[in-house]
Amino acid sequence: MTTKQTLRPIHPSAAIAAQYHKRLQTMVDAMHKSLAFWLHAAYLANEPEMAADAAPIDSKTKTASQQIRKAIEKEGGPAKVLLGVMRQLGRRWQKKFDNMADEMAEYFATEVSERVDGTMRRILRDAGWTVKFKLTKAQRDVLNAVVAENVQLIKSIPQQHLGQVEGLVMRSVQTGRDVGGLTKELHKRYEITKRRAAFIARQENNKATAILTRVRQVELGIKEAKWLHSHAGKTPRPSHVAFANGKDGGPYYDVAKGMWDKDEGRYVFPGELFNCRCISRSVIPGLKPKSMAQDASWMESQHPRDANGQFAKVSGGVTHPKAGTTTAKVWTLAHQLSNKLGKHATKKEVAEAAKELGLNPATVATQYHL
């Protein structure tokens, strides 16, 4: 199999996924606490018609319970009142999620887009190209699609959760279960919704990163990419593992077409399918060695030399360290990076570049001080 020179891959941002998850989780936690509080109060208001545990009652719960008891006396039965409480809570929390969905989805999509562009600029800059990205029609269309999909997913969280909780409550009333039993069932449903919120954050971050990366690849005229498998899931797709291992047409694919997935019966892209965490490397014909640290001869050729071919001296009369050593590679990296940036690279910039090339950041700390 022919090896082609590729750019570094663009990984989904763990920070963006974590931020997205945190906001969803905050809302899920608040919804669960609200449901648990009002349902507990409703059960206490129905003694002895419903069984209840002997847990202490705080003043807030007692007040809510008294309000519900008055409603039961007026309506003539606990089932109808409980259903009314659930419907009221459902409307309240659905509205809360609906109100935050558009803003949150727009913010998320913008964050992913800006990170993809920023990361791709750095990758291309390190390979010797300077690119300025603009918000194109294709990019805007993709962003709109990402926003729309995430709005629907955010709104679906209370829809699913509240519908299932309402079923639990009605069955609990019919069977005369105590509040302790219902609380356990509510907690189980809460844990399921928590996991779903975490999955949505991770899945949408992976998917949005992959789609936005592909749009930029096409706009830059990149024709081919290399499929990389994440090895992160417990049950990887055999076809995706095969692609990454150079089988079933892999690892290289047309970025405008994708890779034929026999299991799906269609062409697919990395990160597109449900729970897919695969990514890609853009193929650039004529690219220099993909890592200076992996090509000692090229590294050596980049050392500044004087008219006699000897290593040139730098400020203060200090000569470059012996070629091929880690120290020499750090010096060369700093020199090349500064040339590309048009200014003296900072220690942080050199350290980040060194880490990507497999060099020891500690060496940067001792050898570079800007």
Are 214 and 311 found together in one domain?
A: no
Are 170 and 257 found together in one domain?
A: no
Strand residue runs (E) in the chain:
224-228, 252-254, 259-261, 266-268, 279-282
Are 21 and 160 found together in one domain?
A: yes
Rg (CA), the chain: 29
Are 211 and 228 found together in one domain?
A: no
pLDDT, residue 47, reads: 57
310 versus 331: which is more confidently predicted?
Answer: 331
pLDDT, residue 2, reads: 61
What is the number of structural domains in the chain? Answer: 3
Structure confidence at residue 254 as a pLDDT band (50, 70, 90): very high
Find, among 247, 283, 253, 282, the residue nearest to 268 by Cα.
Answer: 253
Do the Cβ atoms of 104 and 155 come closer than 8 Å? no
Q: Which whole number is the average pLDDT over 351-362?
A: 75
The span from the CA of 44 to the CA of 58, in Å, is 12
Is 90 exceeded by the pLDDT of residue 118? yes
Is 50 exceeded by the pLDDT of residue 59? yes
Q: Answer yes or no: is 76 within a domain.
A: yes
The span from the CA of 287 to the CA of 285, in Å, is 6
pLDDT tens digits along 8-51: 999 999 999 999 999 999 999 999 998 888 777 766 666 544 44
Are 263 and 350 found together in one domain?
A: no
Are 124 and 250 found together in one domain?
A: no
Provide φ and ψ at 305, rounded to 5°: -130, 155
pLDDT tens digits along 179-205: 567 778 888 999 999 999 999 999 999
Single-letter code of the amino acid located at 164: Q
Surface-to-core class of residue 205, CB atoms within 10 Å of its CB (0-12 exposed, 13-18 middle, 19+ buried): buried
Are 234 and 94 found together in one domain?
A: no
Q: Answer yes or no: is 33 within a domain.
A: yes
pLDDT, residue 25, reads: 96
Are 180 and 272 found together in one domain?
A: no
The tokens for 22 are 């945190």
Within 8 A by CB and 6+ apart from 172, the residues are 181, 182, 185
DSSP structural state of residue 6: B
pLDDT tens digits along 315-328: 434 455 666 677 77
Q: Which of 176, 196, 219 is the last residue of a domain?
A: 219
pLDDT, residue 114, reads: 94
Structure confidence at residue 300 as a pLDDT band (50, 70, 90): very low
pLDDT tens digits along 129-171: 888 888 899 999 999 999 999 999 999 999 999 988 888 877 7
Alpha carbon of 47 to those of 36, 50, 52, 53, 63: distances in Å? 17, 5, 7, 10, 15
Are 322 and 361 found together in one domain?
A: yes
pTM, full prediction: 0.70
Domain that residue 326 falls in = 292-367
pLDDT, residue 346, reads: 78
Structure confidence at residue 301 as a pLDDT band (50, 70, 90): very low
Find, among 277, 201, 241, 244, the residue nearest to 21 by Cα.
Answer: 201
